[in-house]
Amino acid sequence: MHIRQDGRVALVTGAAQGIGQAIAIGLKECGATVHVADLDAAQVNAFAQANAFTAHTLDVSDRKAAAAMVNAIVAKAGRIDILVNSAGGVRGQVGRPIEEVTEEDWRAIFQANVDGAFWLAQAATGPMRKAGFGRIVNIASGAGLRPSLTGIQAYTAAKHALVGLTKQFSQDFAPHGITCNAVAPGFVRSNPSSERQWQSYGAEGQKRLIEATHTRRTGKAEDIANAVIFLASDQASWITGQILSVDGGRS
Ligand SMILES: NC(=O)c1ccc[n+]([C@@H]2O[C@H](COP(=O)([O-])OP(=O)(O)OC[C@H]3O[C@@H](n4cnc5c(N)ncnc54)[C@H](O)[C@@H]3O)[C@@H](O)[C@H]2O)c1
C-alpha cells in the first residue's frame, strides 16, 4: 500500500509540539498541502517557515477564531480535506488532590482537548460535506480509555469526551463521506510536560513503565503520526468511529 495525499488540504492543530509536528511533516511527505495551528505563535510560525506550511495562531476553543481559520483555508485552497485535532495536553498541570483543582484548571483542559475539536469540526464539516469527502482524526490518549498516568482528573474526563465525540461524529458524518477516528497514544516523550513526567517516575518507575510496554520502549511522535496518516488516507475509507491505541502494546 502506498499512501498519497496529493491535492489534499490538511489542518493540524497543536503543531507547535512533537506529535502535531510529526503529523504535519508526515502529511506533507505524502503530498498534502498543510496548515498548522497552535496557541504558541513563536513556535508554530518557526515550524511553518521551516517546512513551507501556512501557520495560524489561535485558541482553538474560541469558536469564532476556529471558524475564521477554516473559512480562510477554504477561501485560499477551495477545500479542507483533513482535520487533525492534536491540540490539547495537560496545559502545564500535574495531578493533584480533587479539592485543590480550580474551576480555571478544569476548564483549561476541556477547552484545549474538547471544545476546540468540536468547533473545528463544526466549521470544517460544511465544506467536507459539499466535497463528499473528509477525514477527521482526533488525538485522544490512553487516558481516554482508562485512568490517566498523570492523575489529572480533567485530562481523563476530557479525553474520554473526545472519544465520545469521535463516535458521534462518525455516525453523523460518515454518510457524507467523512470518517472520524481517534488515535490513543501511550507514553510519548514529545514535549516538556511528558519529559517532566518521565523524570518524575525516577529510575524504578521508568523501568516499570518500560516493562509494562510489550515493545519495551516509550513511543516516538512518528509512531503516532504514522497511524494518523493511515486513518487520514483514501485507503482507510471503511474505518470510522474507531479508537486506535498506539502504545507499544501497553493497553
Ligand atoms: N505526549 C504524550 O505522551 C501523549 C500521550 C497521549 C496523548 N497525547 C496527546 O497528544 C497531543 C499532542 O501532544 P504533544 O505530546 O505533542 O504535546 P502537548 O500536549 O504539549 O501539545 C499540545 C499542543 O497544543 C497546543 N494547544 C493547547 N491548547 C491549545 C488551544 N486552546 N488552542 C491552540 N493550541 C493549543 C499547545 O500549545 C501545544 O503546542 C495532545 O492532545 C496530547 O494530549 C500526548
For 39-50, what is each residue's pLDDT tens digit? 999 999 999 999
193 has pLDDT over 90: no
Contacts of 68 (CB under 8 A, 6+ apart): none
Angle 18-29/41-51 helices, nearest 10 degrees?
Answer: 20
Q: Which of 35, 38, 118, 152 most suits a substitution to test ligand 1, by most atoms within 8 Å of the C-beta?
A: 38
Residue type, 84: V
- For the chain, domain boundaries: 9-188+220-243
Q: Cell 479539592 sits at which residue?
A: 99
pLDDT of residue 115: 98
**HEC states along 148-173?**
CCCCCHHHHHHHHHHHHHHHHHHHHH
Q: pTM for this one?
A: 0.98
pLDDT-derived band at 133, boundaries 50, 70, 90: very high
Q: Cell 476546540 sits at which residue?
A: 116
Q: What number is the average pLDDT over the span 33-43?
A: 98
pLDDT of residue 77: 96
**Rounded to whole angstroms, how far apart are CA atoms 120 and 67?**
7
DSSP 243: E
242 contacts 183 by C-beta, under 8 angstroms: no
Rounded to the nearest 5°, which phi and psi values hold at 187? -80, 120
DSSP 53: P
pLDDT of residue 135: 98
Among protein residues, the one with the nearest Cα to ligand 1's atom 2 is: 188
What is residue 179's three-state secondary structure?
Answer: strand
Q: What number is the average pLDDT over the span 48-53?
A: 97
Strands 33-38 and 243-246: unpaired
List, for residues 78-103, the tens digit of each pLDDT value.
999 999 999 999 999 999 999 999 99
pLDDT of residue 250: 79
List, for residues 223-245, the tens digit of each pLDDT value.
999 999 999 999 999 999 999 99
From ligand 1's centre to the CA of 38, what distance in Å?
A: 9
pLDDT-derived band at 192, boundaries 50, 70, 90: confident
Fold for the domain defined by 9-188+220-243: Rossmann fold (3.40.50)
Give percent of the chain above pLDDT 70. 100
CA distances to 42, 81, 135, 207 from 196, in Å: 22, 35, 33, 16
Mean pLDDT of the chain: 97
From ligand 1's centre to the CA of 130, what distance in Å?
A: 30
Ligand 1, CB cutoff 6 Å, lining residues? 13-14, 16-20, 38-40, 59-61, 86-89, 111-112, 116, 139, 141, 185, 187-188, 190-191, 193-194
From ligand 1's centre to the CA of 77, what distance in Å?
A: 26
